[in-house]
Amino acid sequence: MKLLGYKSVCKVGVYTMSRHKPYLLIIFVLMLTLALTACGSNSPEANDTQPAASGLENVSQSVEPSASASSDEADGVLKGTGKYVGLGDTSSIEIEMDGQPVVFQLGTVDESVINSLNSGDQVTFQYKEQEVEGDPGVKLRTLIQLQQGAGQSGSEGAAEALPETKDLSVTLEGNTEERSAKLVQTDDYALYLPDGFSFDKENNKLYLTAYPEYFATIYKLPSDYNMDYLKLEADQEMSDNGRVKEITGDDVAEPMRDAKLVEIVNGPVRVKQYIVKELDGQDYVLRLEIPNGEPSEGFQPLAYAALNSLINKK
């Protein structure tokens, strides 16, 4: 067997490596490419593409209704008229609308307004309406204003639509009569004056046309008035005519029996009266001066009827 020499072996080795060199180069290039790809996945440029999902999420949240938009929608105030039925419970009442009883939460309505109403009274009111969560077919109605009156309250336009004349029921000498009355209006209210009466709009004063010393004045009270102060005022105003006293119950003439305060003084020359009464949902001070004389018998019941016809315009 012929043995190869050292030089021959080296030549063979070199030749073999030369034949495999292209393949090694290809493998090296592939490994380098894979390494660069792996590094590229952790590069900042790759990370910058990740927040795309978060960005889409933010857009979907921004199209939801904002809190301020919901508040504006909920602030819509509705108006209604109907017939007072009675208390539903301690926090609600029923009002008949279009022949159907509807429950309203009392909301900000003062208890004194509720206490002044009788079942069957016509009322006007303002309220807010809100769907009950989870049951869109049910609505919660909450009152924000309630007044006694047949739909004329709270609107100058409504007051202007009142009839120019109407009959007032008056009791004279024990007999109930119907007396024709005409409409008069101020910026705050409207009322009906019986025949024989005139009205001084500037001074909110109604009086007998033939005997102007017989009169009644009307003063609209603020919502935060103090009754104790009014009692003191009544005493100061009328004490020069005699002893002032507060009367209640059957001592008060029937048309004013539901007043919150009635103070009178029977002087030697005239009778003075100081009355605090709610008229169409608003409290007023009514001052009457009635000189002793024949006209006094008709003036008081007719003046009471006129005052009780008052309808608020705002």
Q: Total structural domains in the chain?
A: 2
Tell whether 19 is covered by a domain.
Answer: no
* Same domain flag for 164 and 133: no
Domain extent, residue 202, equals 158-312
* Same domain flag for 188 and 95: no
For 159-206, the pLDDT digits (tens) are 447 889 999 989 888 888 899 999 999 989 999 999 999 999 999 999
What residues does 220 pair with on adjacent strands?
284
Across the chain, the runs of DSSP E, i.e. the strands, are 78-89, 92-97, 100-105, 122-132, 135-148, 165-172, 175-185, 189-194, 197-200, 205-208, 215-220, 245-246, 261-266, 270-279, 282-291, 311-312
* Same domain flag for 270 and 306: yes
* Same domain flag for 144 and 250: no
pLDDT > 70: percent of the chain: 72
Tell whether 277 is covered by a domain.
Answer: yes
* Same domain flag for 303 and 182: yes
For 225-282, the pLDDT digits (tens) are 999 999 999 999 999 999 999 999 999 999 999 999 999 999 999 999 999 999 999 9
Tell whether 42 is covered by a domain.
Answer: no
